[in-house]
Amino acid sequence: MSHWWTQACREPDAAGERQALARQARLTKPAGALGQLETLAVQLAALQGREMPSADRVAITVFAADHGVAARGVSAFPQAVTQQMIANFAAGGAAISVLARALGARLEVVDVGSLNQGAVPAGVVDARIAAGTADFSRRPAMSAAQLEQALAAGRAAVVRAGPVDLFIAGDMGIANTTAATALACVLLGAAPRELAGPGTGLDADGVSRKAAVIAEALALHAAHRHAPEAALARLGGFEIAAIAGSYIACAQAGLAVLVDGFIASSAALCAIHLNPAVRPWLLFAHRSAEPGHARLLAAMAASPLIDLGLRLGEASGAAIAVPLLRLACALHEGMATFASAGVSGKSPC
């Protein structure tokens, strides 16, 4: 049976890319002098199908959920923090809340599976699938049906975002670096001790414990390691699957994505394994301080825009990188050409 997430994605617009490249060649600067900013402008032009791309209209969605594996002591914080942070997002006090306001970006928070059994805070979308995933070191994190619900929650968020220039997904969930690391181990063929990191602040013993729990889980689910859907269901989180679903939906709709840090990158690699045509639609914001992130970026041939030692999640790193995209677009559109400026030759230098 064919699922929606395996259906065709749009292809980047070759004409928009050619027009943007031609414009870059006419701007009053040496070729390539603006480095990655030039590449960004051309990439966005191809993804948006126009010579003059834009990053003005930005939609940010933070997906939140709890993880049963937290019971194994793999996080420095208790699970109650997930629900508390959802309330903090709703109240506008989280880092991503501040960043979204500063950017003039639309921010939506979606609860796809917190432990909270009551009403979600006002302003938060209630898309709860269950009260957290199961402990994947003992059993599958979620059923196939729950995986479908989580992927669909991501697609629904993209639909609600409406017509924008750029989509950003963020995560919140105590123990989600453990789930992301387990998925990365499967998809990259790496050992847990190579990729496990401190997450929210584990010490060396805590990181070793996390790696041991992940190793148990990989052994338990070894028979399913080559099937991306099964790996995501058995080892993932509701918010990670929702992010993967949102990326696939963006690629199918022709919407550029700016990928956040370690959790979002693990979701991105899952999305690519589910539908390889997603990859051209992904731009990468930053290099996380989590040790496994460099391996994920390398696997996707990704060149992140910034490296500030960030490891917060919430889409914060991606939001911080948005001004660079906006400046790339402004330079691309606003600089004079050699002809319009009356500058001789192809370069003033």
DSSP for 274-326 reads H-GGGGGGEEE-B--SSTTHHHHHHHTT---SB-S-----TTHHHHHHHHHHH
pLDDT digits (tens, 9 = 90+) for 30-41: 999 999 999 999
Token pair belonging to 106: 């639309």
CATH number at residue 295: 3.40.50.10210
pLDDT digits (tens, 9 = 90+) for 199-258: 989 999 999 999 999 999 999 999 887 799 999 999 999 999 999 999 999 999 999 999
17 labelled catalytic? no
Residue 187 falls inside a structural domain = yes
What is the total residue count of the chain? 349
The helix, strand and coil proportions of the chain, stated in percent and rounded to the nearest 5, come to: 50, 10, 35
Distances (CA, A) of 223 to 5, 216, 234: 23, 13, 11
Residue 31 falls inside a structural domain = no
Confidence band of 1 (pLDDT split at 50, 70, 90):
low
Domain range enclosing 149: 60-246+260-275+289-327
Residue 35 falls inside a structural domain = no
Residue 225 falls inside a structural domain = yes
Total domains in the fold of the chain: 1
Query: Which residue among the candidates 229, 290, 314, 333 is catalytic per the annotation?
Result: 314
pTM above 0.95, yes or no: yes
